A and B are shown apart, each in its own frame.
Chain A
């Protein structure tokens, strides 16, 4: 079974530029998550999708970050414009989903995209 795919693996940009990350979840997984992992910290949830709808985006900096999951499969996360503090690894994860708020689904993580903002 193929895992969660992410691209690119690495990206270097200058501040105020824009950048986009792509995620392809495990086939059949309804729930998709984007996490931000700053060096030395644990992952922090940015946004959670159930199929193509947003379940939770309370920690997404909406003035510069956006995400979409068209057709309930692939997802893109965009940053526009980027700031120095956005340097981090962006992790995508997926789970089967569909069990409601008390879901005990296992999350499967992709390898991440390491973003460096200069």
Chain B
């Protein structure tokens, strides 16, 4: 069965600092991988997705993620965090027909 692990429940970074959120997955085939962001009271918004090809994926809001098959990882990065990036971030594995298995999320706090 497929699964997604986000090892960090909560991360705090200073505004302007770089960010990396970790995601590890377990899936028997070539995975479809996603990162979503959820702000308080909002639905999930897709940041980026990986299906095939270039393992470095660019997304919206200045985020990028790198697929590393050997490490079963799909970590999310941003070079300089803004206060508005404070939210909860979810990694997900696509398991066909569009549906996804989600990790339990990482809450990002941004210090001024």
Using CB atoms and an 8 Å cutoff, list the residues of chain A in contact with chain B.
Answer: 3-4, 31, 33, 40-45, 48, 50, 55-56, 91, 93, 95, 97, 99-112
Contact = CB atoms under 8 A, between A and B. Distances in A.
A100 B43 CA distance: 25
A111 B41 contact: yes
Contacts of B94: 104
Interface of B: 4, 32, 36, 41-46, 49, 51, 90, 92, 94, 96-105
A102 B94 CA distance: 9
B43 A91 contact: yes
A110 B93 CA distance: 20
Interface of B is mostly: strand
Contact of A55 (B32, B45, B97): B97
A95 B98 contact: yes
- Most chain-B CB neighbours within 10 Å: which of A33, A42, A50, A97? A42
A108 B42 CA distance: 12
A99 to B, nearest CB: 8
A105 B92 CA distance: 14
